[in-house]
Amino acid sequence: MANLTVRYEVLSTPLIYQGTLTGATVRMAEIFRPAIIENAAAIAVAHNHPSGDPEPSDFDYRMTSELVEAGRLLQIPVMDHLVVSHRGFVSMAERGRLVGRSGS
């Protein structure tokens, strides 16, 4: 993830989770904790798909919705959620999955 300033410059890039080959358990509080501590104006989240297929899973879409809602409540907008692999990446923002985020 990246904690961002009001100009969307990177404050820091803390590693929040390190999952297994097939997944990771994600808790919203742990994702937003560094942003709150650093007084970030916004965040961008990224995770990898070791399979090489950057296509988001149903879980990825649900997680994006939860991230956006948590960010809205905390007034820390989620600017993007990227799914990356060695074959490329998918931007949830480009797919219109961040509609309703705070600050958009």
pLDDT in tens, the chain (104 residues): 999 999 999 999 999 988 777 777 789 999 999 999 999 999 999 999 988 999 999 999 999 999 999 999 999 999 999 999 999 999 999 999 997 554 44
Predicted local distance difference test score (pLDDT) of residue 25: 78
| Runs of H (alpha helix) within 8-47 | 28-37
pLDDT tens across 68-84, in order? 999 999 999 999 999 99
Residue 56's identity, in one-letter code, is P
Phi, psi of 83 (to 5 degrees): -110, 120
User: Which residues lie closer than 8 Å to 75 by C-beta, 6 or more apart?
Assistant: 102
Q: Domains plus CATH for the chain?
A: 2-91 (3.40.140.10)
